[in-house]
Amino acid sequence: MSHHHSARALLTPAMHGVLERMGRAGQVPLHALTPMQARAAYEIGAGVLELPAHKLMRVEQLTIPARDGHALRARLVAPSTEVLPVLLYFHGGGFTIGSVDTHDALCRRLSHLAHCAVVSVNYRLAPKHKFPTAVFDAWDALAWLAESAPTLGLDASRLAVGGDSAGGTLATVCAVLARDAGVPLALQVLFYPGCCGHQDTPSHRRFAHGFVLEAPHIDYFFDHYLRTPADRGDWRFAPLDGHDESGQQPDLEGVASAWFGLAECDPLVDEGVLYADKLRAAGVPVDLEIYRGVVHEFIKMGRAIPEAAQAHADAARALRHAFQAFQTKAPP
């Protein structure tokens, strides 16, 4: 018990207040709901603590074809009609909940702050669509965007990928696949990505209960998403320690530079740091920020948590710098 209390002592006063109010609200935990109920509950609550959504000049609904013919819903937002660089964004939600709508305010904010277009994708969710469908959808969306950007009035030579939590996992995987396919990426923007196959790091134990993303939530999401326990060893689920079909861990040399925004009081913080270290060891430039005293999902709590706006600004700055560097490197 004292272990839990010492971890709670790390929280900022504002974060502590948010968690207390959540506790008093007495909501049924997501892991006690059916996936459809959990999805609906998340949709209802997603905007409660968000900063107000920016009004942007371009807001367009897109349809992206997946490899099996399924039409993926996507949304393009941009602050102007200029030919802008573009961030492809994958929402969080444990591969089971979340949508372009739950992350619309965040995507608009990144678009506004980084002065870039953002395309957010509704990849298919578990349990109806199990691993690796989300991976296929994410990669199909990136390959489509790389080819279709000019027809959308976007700069195909300046692409980035990003996501939070499960969406961060998808972004890391897409960065490796893009390297292999010869699709240049300016940056991968990773808000507290899931990176390891088993939840056995010290932060998973320290922050297992009482910090928004709890151990039962993680089990619930992954039990819905994974087909068999063997999927935990697949690098497309576990980019930190997973293996490919030949039993090898993917080489990360030459993948896009990465910006990480991690939460100190988050079960996923250790694996985020370890994946950043692995990228650095492969010679990949990495910028890592750990926001102190906040929990998983904090980037969607900007009305209450000042660190959310700071993380948005830091990610946007990294995007602007990366896009600028890519512009100067591009051939005339």
Catalytic residues: 165, 266, 296
Q: Which of 236, 142, 149 is nearest to 197 (CA)?
A: 236
Per the CB < 8 A criterion, the answer to whether 294 and 307 are in contact is yes
The two three-digit tokens of residue 292, written as one number: 């102190």
Across 134-248, the runs of DSSP E, i.e. the strands, are 154-164, 187-191
Q: Compute the distance between CA of residue 76 and CA of residue 167 in angstroms, rounded to an integer.
A: 17
Distance of alpha carbon 176 from its chain centroid, rounded? 15
Nearest to 234, CA basis, from 173, 279, 281, 325: 173
Residue 261 in 3-state DSSP? Answer: strand
Q: Which two tokens stand for residue 254?
A: 């030459």
The position carrying tokens 């906040």 is 294
Half-sphere exposure of 317 toward its Cβ, with a 13 Å CA cutoff?
Answer: 10
| Helix, coil or strand: residue 260 | strand
Cα–Cα distance measured from residue 17 to residue 25, given in angstroms and rounded to the nearest whole number: 12
